[in-house]
Amino acid sequence: MATQVAAQANLFRRKARSKRVVLDWVMTGLTFASSIFAIVVLASILYYVFVNGIERFNWQTLTQLPPPPGDQVGGFGNAVLGTVIVVSIAISISFPIGLFAAIYLSEFGQNSSTASALRFVIKVLTGVPSIIAGVFAYGVLVLSTKTFSALAGGVALSVLTLPIIILSCEEALRLVPADTRAAAYALGASRVQTVFRVVLPAALPVILTGVTLAIARAAGETAPLIFTALFSFLWPDGLLKPIASLAVLIYNFAIVPFENQQKIAWGGALALVILALITTVSFRLLLSRRQETITI
C-alpha cells in the first residue's frame, strides 16, 4: 500500500534533470538575461552621461554663451533659454487643442465609432517620425516666412506633443470614476459645469504629469529643430529668428573635434537626461498609485 502511494507520487513528479525541466531553466535564464541587458545599457548611458557631463554642469555653463572653437570656456545658457522658449510655444499650441480633443474622446465621443476612428488616426499620428514633423514645419513656416525661426521650431514640436497630450489626457480623464459624473448630472450640473468643476479637477494631477512628460519629450527632440529653429550662438532675439536649443547644441558640439565643445555637449546631455529621469519616474509612480494594475 505504502509503495503504491510512493509510486503514484513519483508518477506525478517531473525528473529533476529531464529535458522539460532543463528547457524551462534555460528559457527563464534567457528572458532574465535580456532584462539584465536593458538594465546594463541604461546604466551605461546614465553612468557615462553623469561622469562626462558633471564636469561642465555648473552655474557658469548654465549662464554663458557657447564658445567659438578653440576657446576653453563658455556654456549653453542661450540654449537652455531657447529650449524653454521653443517648448513653451509647442505646449501653448498643443495643450489647449489636445485637452479639448481628449475631452471630446473621453466625455462625448466615448466608444462611438467616430471616436474610435479618431483615436486610431491620433495613435497613427504618434508614429509620425520626428524628422517628418520638422519637414512639415519647414514647408509650412520656413519656406513661407523665408527664415528659420523659434516659431517654426515650436510648431514642429507641437506636432509631436499633440498626440502625446491627447492620449495621456484621455487616460487621465478616464481614470475619473463614471459615478462622479453621474453625481454631478444628478445635481443638475450642465456639461460645462461637470467637465470644468468636477472631472477636470479630479483628473488634474495626472493631466499635469502627462503634460510634463510631453515637455520632457519635446525638450529632447532634435530632429524637428535642426532645420526649423536651426541654432544660434547668441541669446534669443525674437520669435522669427533662429534660436539655440539644448538638443541641437548637443548634436552640433558632439560631432566637432574640439574637446571643450564635446564637454559642453555632455553637460547638455546630462541636463536632458535629468529632466527625462524625473518626469518618467514621477509619472510612473503617480499612475501606479492611482491604478491597481501596472501597465506600461
d(CA 45, CA 270) in angstroms, rounded, equals 10
Question: In this chain, which of 65, 84, 131, 239 binds another protein, going by CB under 8 A?
Answer: 131
d(CA 218, CA 246) in angstroms, rounded, equals 11
- Residues 224, 137: contact at Cβ < 8 Å? yes
Q: Which stretch binds another protein (CB under 8 A): 55-63, 73-81, 177-185, 279-287?
A: 279-287
Structural Rg of the chain based on CA atoms: 26
Minimum CB–partner distance for residue 161 and another protein (Å): 11
H helix intervals, the chain = 2-11, 19-53, 59-63, 77-103, 113-126, 130-137, 143-145, 150-175, 178-186, 191-193, 200-220, 246-254, 259-290
Specify the residue, 180 or 280, whose C-beta has the smaller distance to another protein.
280
**Long-range interactions of 6-12: CB distance < 8 A, separation 24+:** none
Question: In this chain, which of 3, 14, 146, 257 binds another protein, going by CB under 8 A?
Answer: 14
Minimum CB–partner distance for residue 168 and another protein (Å): 13
Buried-exposed string 273-291: b where 16+ CB fall within 10 A, e elsewhere: bbbeeebeeebeeebeeee
- Subset of 48-107 contacting another protein (CB under 8 A): 48-49, 52, 96-101, 103-105, 107
Minimum CB–partner distance for residue 129 and another protein (Å): 2
- Subset of 138-197 contacting another protein (CB under 8 A): 138-140, 143, 148, 159, 162-163, 166, 188, 190-192, 195
200 near another protein (CB under 8 A): no
Binding mask 212-251 for another protein (x = CB under 8 A): ----xx-xxxxx--xx--x----------------x--xx
Those residues whose C-beta lies under 8 Å from the C-beta of residue 197, and which sit 6 or more positions away, are 184, 189
Question: In this chain, which of 7, 38, 178, 186 binds another protein, going by CB under 8 A?
Answer: 38
d(CA 122, CA 98) in angstroms, rounded, equals 11
Minimum CB–partner distance for residue 207 and another protein (Å): 15
Cell numbers 531657447 correspond to what residue?
A: 82
Minimum CB–partner distance for residue 95 and another protein (Å): 11
Minimum CB–partner distance for residue 190 and another protein (Å): 5
Question: In this chain, which of 6, 8, 15, 24 binds another protein, going by CB under 8 A?
Answer: 24
